[in-house]
Amino acid sequence: MGCVNISQSNYLAAFMRIFEDNYRHKGMRKQLVDGIRQKGISDDRVLQAILHIPRHFFMDSAFDKIAYEDRAFPIAEGQTISQPYTVAYQTQLLELKPFEKVLEIGTGSAYQACVLAEMGVQVFTIERQRNLFDQNKNFPFLKKYTNIKFFYGDGYEGLPTYAPFDKIIITAAAPLVPPKLIEQLKIEGKMVIPLGDGKVQRMLRITKQEGGILKEEEFDNFSFVPMLQGRKGS
Residue 74, pLDDT > 90, answer no
- pLDDT tens string 28-56: 999 999 999 999 999 999 999 999 999 99
**What are 233's strand-pairing partners?**
none
- pLDDT tens string 158-216: 999 999 999 999 999 999 999 999 999 999 999 999 999 889 999 999 999 999 999 99
Q: Enter the pTM of the model.
A: 0.90
Residues 6+ apart with CB under 8 A from 177: 191, 193, 195, 204, 206, 214
List the single range of 68-72, 89-93, 123-127, 204-208 with lowest mean pLDDT.
68-72
Q: Please tell me the distance from the alpha carbon of residue 94 to that of residue 192, in angstroms, as a whole number.
A: 7
From 82, 109, 223, 234, the catalytic residue: 82
- Let me know if 7 is a catalytic residue: no
Q: Is 4 exposed, middle or buried (0-12, 13-18, 19+ CB in 10 A)?
A: exposed
What is residue 69's DSSP assignment?
A: S
Residue 84, pLDDT > 90, answer yes
Looking at residue 221, its amino acid is N
Portion of the chain with pLDDT greater than 90, in percent: 78
Residue 228, pLDDT > 80, answer yes
Portion of the chain with pLDDT greater than 70, in percent: 91
The confidence score (pLDDT) of residue 5 equals 44
Could you give all domains of the chain from N- to C-terminal order, each with its CATH number?
A: 73-222 (3.40.50.150)
Q: Please tell me the distance from the alpha carbon of residue 73 to that of residue 87, in angstroms, as a whole number.
A: 13
Query: Which residue pairs, CB below 8 angstroms and at least 24 apart, start in 178-184?
Result: 180/156, 181/103, 181/105, 181/156, 182/206, 182/208, 182/214, 183/158, 184/103, 184/158, 184/159, 184/160
The confidence score (pLDDT) of residue 44 equals 98
What is the average pLDDT score of the chain? 91
